Amino acid sequence: MGIKSDIRLIDDNGLRIDGRLPNQLRPIKMEVGVLERADGSAYIEWGGNKIITAVYGPREAYPKHVQEAEKAIVRARYSMAPFSVDERKRPGPDRRAVELSKVISEALESVIFVEKYPRTSIDVYIEVLQADAGTRVAGITVASLALADAGIPMRDLIVGCAAGKIDGVVVLDLNKEEDNFGEADVPMAILPRTKEIALLQMDGDMSYDELKTAMDMAMEAAQTIYKMQIEALKKKYTEVV
């Protein structure tokens, strides 16, 4: 974000560097139930992002002092594989991963009926195998599929979607180059049924009107992604016979 360069992110025809329109998503592919031993799991390919998620629980929370007498705690762990980015990333949680784990946990907790399972923890492991901007929103999208697959009661599925501003134009779903050389990035997590917002962050700067446009764009795209999520969940069970 904010790195000065002479790269033109939008060409004369109004197309972006990967040939997309400003309000066009990258191709998305989702699959549910990819891991044998996890209680629930899912995999997503969102443009260049490849993310696998596993859910365990509800199970008794340990260490015991983290238990909450009235509700389950949701512990999401976002981690990027060392080989997920161009230059090898040092393994283990860094400042960014800790922050994302926290915001993702909170976003997911808002849709789960946590009060049904007192004293337990629901553990969500989000492993980014290949990163290409927008991994947190893709991670939230795929984590909600894994939670549904694990049979955890939820108010709604949750959809992550990002919008941003590049070369002065508000666009949807930034890719890596646009994220690095663009002006702003707004990742959002949306509950598609009620259109509530579970996560809203902004990196870079935009005017109020631009932010509103970006949010509307993401909101609209969330409905598209929501349909894909439903399809992915139902596919696991309709392909059996």
Partner 1 sequence: MEKGKGIRKIVVPGELIKEVGKPGNGVFVEKGKMYSAYLGIVETRAGYVNVIPLSGCYIPKKGDKVIGKIIDIAPMNWVVDINAPYYAPLHVNDVPWHVDFGYTARYLSIGDVILAKVSNVNDLGQVWVTMKEQGLRKLEGGHLIKISPFKVPRVIGRGGSMIQMLKEYTGCRIYVGQNGMIWISGSPEGIITVIKAIRMIENEAHTYGLTDRIKAFLEKERGEENGN
Contact 159, 220 (CB under 8 A): no
Our finding on whether 113 is near partner 1 (CB under 8 A) is yes
Q: Tokens in use for 72?
A: 């389950």
Strand boundaries in 114-195, DSSP class E: 120-130, 159-166, 169-172, 184-191
Q: Which of 9, 49, 58, 135 binds partner 1 (CB under 8 A)?
A: 58
Q: What whole-number distance in Å separates Cα of residue 177 and Cα of residue 239?
A: 38
Q: Which of 193, 207, 216, 220 binds partner 1 (CB under 8 A)?
A: 193
Size of the site for partner 1 (CB under 8 A): 34
Q: Which of 42, 157, 171, 184 binds partner 1 (CB under 8 A)?
A: 157
Our finding on whether 149 is near partner 1 (CB under 8 A) is yes
Of 7-15, 116-124, 163-171, 210-218: span binding partner 1 (CB under 8 A): 116-124
| Residue 170: exposure state from Cβ atoms within 10 A (0-12, 13-18, ≥19) | buried
Q: Which of 99, 109, 127, 156 binds partner 1 (CB under 8 A)?
A: 156
Contact 184, 205 (CB under 8 A): yes
Report the residue number, 149 or 183, with the smaller CB distance to partner 1.
Answer: 149
Q: Sort strands 120-130 and 73-80 into parallel, antiparallel or unpaired.
A: parallel
Give the residue carrying structure tokens 């946990």.
105
Interaction pattern, residues 66-105, with partner 1; x per rule: CB under 8 A: ---x------------------------------------
Report the residue number, 33 or 164, with the smaller CB distance to partner 1.
Answer: 33
Q: What whole-number distance in Å separates Cα of residue 81 and Cα of residue 127?
A: 7
Our finding on whether 150 is near partner 1 (CB under 8 A) is yes
60 sits in which H/E element: strand 49-60
Our finding on whether 154 is near partner 1 (CB under 8 A) is yes
Report the residue number, 100 or 191, with the smaller CB distance to partner 1.
Answer: 191
Q: Which of 20, 77, 119, 176 binds partner 1 (CB under 8 A)?
A: 119
Our finding on whether 45 is near partner 1 (CB under 8 A) is no
Q: What whole-number distance in Å separates Cα of residue 109 and Cα of residue 144?
A: 10
Helices within the chain (DSSP H only): 95-109, 135-149, 176-181, 208-238
Our finding on whether 63 is near partner 1 (CB under 8 A) is no
Q: What whole-number distance in Å separates Cα of residue 57 and Cα of residue 66?
A: 15
Report the residue number, 93 or 153, with the smaller CB distance to partner 1.
Answer: 153
Give residues in contact with partner 1 (CB under 8 A). Answer: 39-40, 57-60, 69, 111, 113, 117-120, 148-157, 191-193, 229-230, 233-234, 237-238, 240-241
